[in-house]
Structure 1
Amino acid sequence: MTCQSSFESCPSEIFFEVWDYLSYRDVYRSFSNLNQHFKLMLASYNNVPARITSYQDVDVAALEFFSSRITRLSTSFRYFTGLSSLSSLRSLRIVDKPLSYSHYYSFRFLVNLEHICIVQTAQWNNKYLLRLSDDVMSNYFPRLRLCQIGEVTRTFHSLWQPLLYLRSLTISTKDPNIYHQILYYCPSLTRLKLTIDFLTRPTSLEYSQHLSLRKFELCLILRSISICQILGYLLTPLPNLTHMTVHGPEHHSKQLDIHLLRHLLRKHVSKLEQFHLQMLVDKTLALKLRNEDYRIHPLFRRMIIDQKTSHLSLAKITLSTS
C-alpha cells in the first residue's frame, strides 16, 4: 500500500497557488520526476505564468511541456524565439531596449491575447513596433482588452477594424489626426493614455462623440501649438470624461490661459470629477498667477507654483481639483 505524505495530500489548488509564484522552469524541474501523483497534478496545472529575462530562464523541456498552458509571459530577453509555441497566451509583456526587436516578434498567431504591454526606452522610430501597432488596430487580436504599445501611425495600406473589446490603451503619435481615428475604432475605451508630439495643427476637425471614455492621461510634447488649443481639440468628443491628467512639456515652457482652460473644461467635460495639470511656464506668468484672486478660478481648488526649477527663467505650475 502506498502512503501519501501530508505534503502530497494537500489540495491541488494550494500547489497551483504556490507554483504561480515560482518560475515555470523550477516548477517543472522540481516536481516532474517526483512521482505519478505530481505528474498528474502538473498535467492539470493551467494558466501557467512564465518570466524570461536571460538565457538561463529558457528551458526547452519545460517550455514544451507547458507550452499549450502558458497564458502569461513577461520577457526582457531579446533572443527568446519561442512565442510561436505559446498558442494559449493571453497576457504578453515585453521589456526591451530600443531597436532590439526583430522579425521573430511577430504576434499575429497569438489570437487569444487579451493584454499586450510593450515597455521601451525609445518612444519613436521602431519599425517593428509600428508593425505591431498596425496589427493591433487591424484587429489581429480580437479578444484584446488592454494594450500598451509604441507609436501609432496609419498609411493607406492599413486595414483598421473596430476593436470592440479594447478597454485600456496606451499609445504615442505624431499625427494629430490619429486621435479621432483611435476613438472611432475603439468605441469601448474607458481609459486612454496618449503621448503626442504634434508639430502641426489637425487638418480635420470632424469628430463623433465617444461616450465610453472616463479616464484620460495626456503627455504633451508640443512646440508650436498652445496647450488650450490642443485641449479644445482633444476634449470636444468626450462628454462623459470624469478623470483627466495632463503632463506638459518637460524641457520648454508653454503659455497657459487659466480662464480659457476653465472655460474649455466646463464646456466640453462638464462631468469631470478630477483634474490635474503640471507644466513649465515663464516665471513672469507664474508671478501673475500667484498674485491673482483664487475666487476667479473656483474649478481649481489647488494651485502650486514651484519657482525652484533647473531652468532659471521658468517655474513649474500644478493645477488640481483636489
Structure 2
Amino acid sequence: MNDNGVTRFEDLPNEIFRNIFDYLTIRDLYRTFVGLNIRVDTVLRSIDHVSLTLWSSESANDPAIMFFASQLNRLMVVNDGIETIDLTHFSNVRSLKLKYPSNKQMSQLLQSEQLSYLEYLSLGFVRDLSESSITDKLHRHLFSNGFSFLYTCTLVNTPNPAPNWSISPNLRSLTLLGPVTLSIYNAILDSCPNLVRLILHAFIDKSIVPPTFSSHHFLRNLSIQITKWSTNKMIDSLLMQVPKLQRLHVKMLPPVASIDFSQLASILSERTPRLCRFDCDMMIYKYTIDTDIVHHLHPCFMRIQCNSEYGRFHIFTDNNDKL
C-alpha cells in the first residue's frame, strides 16, 4: 500500500498472484509479467502443474514455452509437423501425448533420463515407419520397465512382443488402438502383472487355442472390440487367463450370423466368477431367443436389450444399472 492508501499490484501477497496466474495462459503470463520485477519472476518460476498443447511448429519456438519448459507437467503435441521440438527441454513432464510421434521424438523418449519419469504416455499413429526398429525398441523399453513410473499408457501402433521383454510392474491401465492378436494379448498380460484395466480396440485372431499362459490375477476391467468373431471360444480363450475380472465390455464389428447366449453365459460363469458387469454392442442377423430368457441366463445379462434395425438385430446394454 502506498502513502495514499492505495494497494498496488506489487503489494499483493504471493498467494493472490498465483490465483490470478491460474486464469492465464503461459503466453499471456510471459508477455505480461516476465521481467516486471524480481519478485514476480520468482513467483512465476515457482508455478507448477503447468499444461501445454502445441499445435504448430511456430509455437514450439515460442520464448514463453522455453521460459516455462522446466515447469510443465502435462504436454500434448497435436500437429504432425512439429518434429523439431526437443522433448528433453520438458524435464518435469509427467503426462505426454504425441498425436503423430516422429522418429526423433521416439529416440528422445528412449534416451532421455528426465522423460523416464513419465506417469502417463499416449503415442499416436507413427507415419514414418522407415525406421521401424525405433518403434520396436520403444515398445520393448516400455514393456520392460523402461518407464518405471508409468501408470497409464495408450498406443496406436501395435507392439510386437519380443523374447527379451521383461515386466512393467507399475503399469495399471493400457489401451491398444491397433490390431491385437491372441499372442500379443498373452504377452501384454505376462509383461504387465499388475495391470488392472485393458482396452483393445481391434482384436483379430483366427486362432482360438492360446499358447501356454499363466493366470493374471489383477485385471479387473477388460474392454474389447472384436473385428472377426468366429465362436464363443474366442471369448473363452481371452477370459481363461483373467479369473478375477469384474467388468467386461464386448463390441463386435462387423455383424455376425448369431450368438449363442447360453454358451456365453456358461463361459462367463466358469471363467469369471467375480464378474459384476457385462456390457455389449453387437449386430447379428439371426436372433432366435427371447430377451427375457437371455436376462435369466446370467446375472450380468439383465441389462441386455435388442432392437431390430434394417433386417438385423442390435444387441446392446442400456445405461441403467439393474445389478
Tell me, yes or no, whether TM beats 0.5: yes
Q: 3-state SS of the aligned residue for 1:93?
A: strand
Which 5+ residue runs of structure 2 have no aligned equivalent? Answer: none
Which 5+ residue runs of structure 1 have no aligned equivalent? Answer: none
Aligned residue number for residue 262 of structure 2: 259
Aligned residue number for residue 160 of structure 1: 165
Aligned pairs (5 A) from 1:142-221: 142-154=148-160, 156=162, 159-171=164-176, 172-201=178-207, 204-221=210-227
- Tell me how far 1:10 sits from its aligned partner: 4.7
Aligned pairs (5 A) from 1:68-107: 68-80=70-82, 81-96=85-100, 101-106=102-107, 107=109
- Tell me how far 1:261 sits from its aligned partner: 0.7
Aligned pairs (5 A) from 1:94-133: 94-96=98-100, 101-106=102-107, 107-108=109-110, 109=112, 110-119=115-124, 127=132, 132-133=138-139
Query: Residue 37 of structure 1: which of 36, 39, 55 is its match?
Result: 39
- The aligned amino acid for 1:317 is I
Tell me whether 170-179 or 295-304 shows the greater mean CA deviation.
Answer: 295-304
Q: Distance in 1 between matches of 2:20 and 2:86?
A: 25
Can you list the C-alpha shifts for 1:122-153, whole angstroms capped at 9, x where unaligned?
9x999476554333223321110000112333
Can you list the C-alpha shifts for 1:92-145, whole angstroms capped at 9, x where unaligned?
12234xxx74433432221111101235599x9994765543332233211100
TM (norm. structure 2) is 0.83
Q: Is the alpha carbon distance of 1:212 and 1:38 closer, same or farther for their aligned partners in structure 2, counting shifts above 3 Å?
A: same
Q: Is the alpha carbon distance of 1:161 and 1:273 closer, same or farther for their aligned partners in structure 2, counting shifts above 3 Å?
A: same
Can you list the C-alpha shifts for 1:74-94, whole angstroms capped at 9, x where unaligned?
121223313121122110122
Tell me whether 109-118 or 46-55 shows the greater mean CA deviation.
Answer: 46-55
Q: Distance in 2 between matches of 1:298 and 1:197?
A: 24
Q: 3-state SS of the aligned residue for 1:253?
A: coil
Q: 3-state SS of the aligned residue for 1:222?
A: coil
Q: Distance in 2 between matches of 1:301 and 1:133?
A: 40
Q: Is the alpha carbon distance of 1:6 and 1:209 closer, same or farther for their aligned partners in structure 2, counting shifts above 3 Å?
A: farther
Contact 1:130 1:152 in 2 (8 A): no
Percent identity of paired positions between Structure 1 and Structure 2: 25
TM (norm. structure 1) is 0.83
Q: Is the alpha carbon distance of 1:298 and 1:180 closer, same or farther for their aligned partners in structure 2, counting shifts above 3 Å?
A: closer
Q: Is the alpha carbon distance of 1:293 and 1:72 closer, same or farther for their aligned partners in structure 2, counting shifts above 3 Å?
A: closer
Aligned residue number for residue 237 of structure 2: 233
Query: Residue 282 of structure 2: which of 279, 284, 292 is its match?
Result: 279
Q: Is the alpha carbon distance of 1:24 and 1:202 closer, same or farther for their aligned partners in structure 2, counting shifts above 3 Å?
A: farther
Query: Residue 317 of structure 1: which of 301, 315, 318 is its match?
Result: 315
Contact 1:198 1:221 in 2 (8 A): yes
- Tell me how far 1:182 sits from its aligned partner: 0.7
2:302 is aligned with 1:304: no
Q: Distance in 2 between matches of 1:126 and 1:232?
A: 37
Contact 1:139 1:160 in 2 (8 A): no
